[in-house]
Amino acid sequence: MLDIRKSVENGSATVCASGRIDTVTAPDFEKAIKEILPGVKSLTIDFDGLEYVSSAGLRVLLSAQKVMNVQGNMKLVNVCEAVREIFDVTGFCDILTIE
Amino acid sequence: MPKRNGLIDLHMHTSVSDGTDSPEELLQAVRSAGISVFSVTDHDAVKAGTVIRGLLQRNADVTFIPGVEFSCQDEDGKYHILGYGFDPEGEAIRRVVDEGHAIRMNKLGIRLDFIRREFGFVFPDEEIDALRRLDNPGKPHIGNLMVKYGYAGNRSEAIEKYLNDPRLENEHVLPRTAIEGILDGGGVPVLAHPFFGSGDELILGEDMEKRLKKLMGDGVQGIEAFYSGFTDKLRAAALRLAAENGLYVTAGSDYHGKNKIVRLAQNGLAEYGEYPQGMRRFLGRFGIES
């Protein structure tokens, strides 16, 4: 399961996702990101409590990063070791800003 | 020979499968995006290709390659196999499409029986009829219905809690069947998003090489090295595999319309510079100068 919360204030948005982003839940994650993107200048994705990201989730992150490269900036926070490892082997650590 | 003078996108979906644009709307979007070579690759369906070919007879301002994306599975895993350049009304491709459709319809019936028997979820006849009329009904469509009738809070919950039961996963199109159908129809079989399996796995290193060798043994001739979800690192690895194995290279966004964030032609090809040899050979196969 995936628990998603989102908030926007003065052009800065935060999406918190905990649980798993996999084939079933990736569409929900994508929907949340897609809804929050318009007009946003700063996007923080908080992965506190996120245990796993499948390739369906990676694709969403890359698409979001491409949009935010134009609109402003995007960063990921509270990324656990297992998810960091996925980012490392796939080259996503070179593209995403992970704090 | 038509000369390519715009963007290329060889992987996109219409409302015939799980995209949101009709074939007509997609063609308009392709034109607006500045794409000059494209293919529509609906899941297990080729109907959009027939519609688009008809539309282009009136104004052939873009080059269209008929396509499809077959969902396949065997004892080693799941695969998405793209097919290009076959006759969408030909017997060979129809055979695979019909097999895939029959499996989908059978699964639909089994799933509806299962949730009725196990959980007491029932739907009005008109809703069931509407599901059966869809070209490509699957778990998301049943999930939507369950949400509509209050059996689940959202589609993900419906699929995870009620529809992902392993007892319901017993029938699939084999990759070999799909590949043979594409080849018999005069087309080119290509492994879609190679490192992502059927769209959700992560398959790297030796596992990827083993999988590719097996599919090449079945007749796969190319890999989708340029893909919207690939980083530079993944694309480089895919291009290396293509070069080492003499495979065609393709480029796709996997555009689904409003369902996903990805845009048409977002596949990394335009930013790449000179096309790799496998890409030039692929375009040349369809008479497109690169």
User: How high is the ipTM of this complex?
Assistant: 0.90
> Does B247 map to a domain?
yes
pLDDT band (50, 70, 90) for residue B136: confident
Q: Which two tokens stand for residue B78?
A: 């799941």
The reply to whether B156 and B218 lie within a common domain is no
Neighbours of B182 (CB within 10 A): 28
Q: How many CB pairs under 8 A join A and B?
A: 83
Q: Mean pLDDT across the stretch B198-217?
A: 93
d(CA B252, CA B11): 4
Which residues, other chains included, contact B244 with Cβ-Cβ below 8 Å and sequence gap of 6+? Answer: none
Phi, psi of B137 (to 5 degrees): -70, 140
d(CA B199, CA B193): 7
d(CA B187, CA B83): 6
Q: Are A29 and A52 in contact (CB under 8 A)?
A: no
The reply to whether B17 and B152 lie within a common domain is no
Given CB atoms, is B169 within the 8 Å cutoff of chain A? Answer: no
d(CA B212, CA B241): 9
- At residue B218's C-alpha, the angle toward residues B216 and B224, to 5°, is 45
Domain count, chain B: 2
> Does B2 map to a domain?
no
Chain B residue with Cα closest to A61: B229
The reply to whether B180 and B73 lie within a common domain is yes
Summarize pLDDT for B215-250 with one digit per residue, the tens.
999 999 999 999 999 999 999 999 999 999 999 999
Q: Return the percentage of chain B with pLDDT > 90, whole number.
A: 78
The reply to whether B75 and B101 lie within a common domain is no
> To probe the interface with A, which of B147, B207, B233 has the most A CB atoms within 10 Å?
B233
List the CATH number of the domain containing B60.
3.20.20.140
d(CA A19, CA A76): 15
Q: For chain A, where are the E strands, in sequence order?
A: 2-9, 12-21, 42-46, 50-53, 73-77
The reply to whether B137 and B242 lie within a common domain is no
User: At residue B64, does pLDDT exceed 90?
Assistant: yes
Residue A43 confidence (pLDDT): 97
Q: Which domain holds residue B160?
A: 97-168
d(CA B130, CA B144): 13
Chain A residue with Cα closest to B205: A89
Residue B185 confidence (pLDDT): 95
> Does B244 map to a domain?
yes
Which residues, other chains included, contact B262 with Cβ-Cβ below 8 Å and sequence gap of 6+? Answer: A59, A63, B228, B253, B254, B255, B256
Residue B288 confidence (pLDDT): 92
B-chain residues near A32 (CB < 8 A):
none
> Does B223 map to a domain?
yes
Q: Which of residues 23-52 of A touch B (CB under 8 A)?
A: 23-28, 30, 33-34, 37
The reply to whether B80 and B11 lie within a common domain is yes
A-chain residues near B195 (CB < 8 A):
55, 90
B125 burial (CB, 10 Å; 0-12 / 13-18 / 19+) is exposed
| The last residue of a domain, from among B143, B168, B193 | B168
pLDDT band (50, 70, 90) for residue B165: confident
Q: Mean pLDDT across the stretch B78-100?
A: 94
CA dihedral (B204, B208, B210, B214) in degrees, to 10, reads: 160
Contacts 24+ apart (CB under 8 A), B100-107: B100/B44, B100/B70, B100/B71, B100/B173, B101/B44, B101/B45, B101/B135, B101/B136, B103/B171, B103/B172, B103/B173, B104/B44, B104/B136, B104/B137, B104/B138, B105/B132, B105/B137, B106/B171, B107/B138, B107/B168, B107/B171
The reply to whether B24 and B56 lie within a common domain is yes
User: At residue B167, does pLDDT exceed 80?
Assistant: no
Does B261 contact A24 at a Cβ distance shorter than 8 Å?
Answer: no
Chain B residue with Cα closest to A96: B231
Of B196, B201, B261, the CB nearest to A63: B261
| The last residue of a domain, from among B168, B188, B206 | B168
User: At residue B169, does pLDDT exceed 80?
Assistant: no
Across all residues in chain B, what is the average pLDDT? 93
B-chain residues near A2 (CB < 8 A):
156
Q: Return the percentage of chain B with pLDDT > 70, whole number.
A: 98
Phi, psi of B90 (to 5 degrees): -75, 155
Strand pairing report for A50-53 and A42-46: unpaired
CA distances from B178 to A70, B101, B158, B271 (A): 40, 13, 30, 32
User: At residue B59, does pLDDT exceed 90?
Assistant: no
Could you please state the CATH topology (level 3) that the domain comprising A2-94 is classified under: Transcription Regulator spoIIAA (3.30.750)
The reply to whether B184 and B275 lie within a common domain is yes
User: At residue B137, does pLDDT exceed 90?
Assistant: no
> Does B290 map to a domain?
no
DSSP state of A40: -
d(CA B262, CA B274): 23
Q: Mean pLDDT across the stretch B257-273?
A: 92
d(CA B85, CA A84): 40
The reply to whether B163 and B180 lie within a common domain is no
Q: Mean pLDDT across the stretch A43-54?
A: 96
Chain A residue with Cα closest to B267: A63
Residue B17 confidence (pLDDT): 87
Nearest-neighbour CA in chain A from B276: distance (Å)? 21
Q: Which two tokens stand for residue B86?
A: 């076959």
Residue B139 confidence (pLDDT): 87
Residue B4 confidence (pLDDT): 56
d(CA B249, CA B277): 8
Neighbours of B53 (CB within 10 A): 16
Residue B280 confidence (pLDDT): 96
> Does B211 map to a domain?
yes
The reply to whether B127 and B266 lie within a common domain is no
Sign, CA torsion B129/B135/B139/B143? negative
**Dihedral-angle region of residue B96 (phi above 0 means left; psi in -120 to 50 means alpha; beta otherwise):** alpha
pLDDT band (50, 70, 90) for residue B5: low
| DSSP reduced 3-state for B226 | strand
Give Rg (Cα) of chain A: 12
The reply to whether B26 and B66 lie within a common domain is yes
Given CB atoms, is A71 within the 8 Å cutoff of chain B? Answer: no
| The last residue of a domain, from among B168, B186, B201 | B168
Nearest to B90 by CA among B14, B183, B167: B183
The reply to whether B181 and B85 lie within a common domain is yes
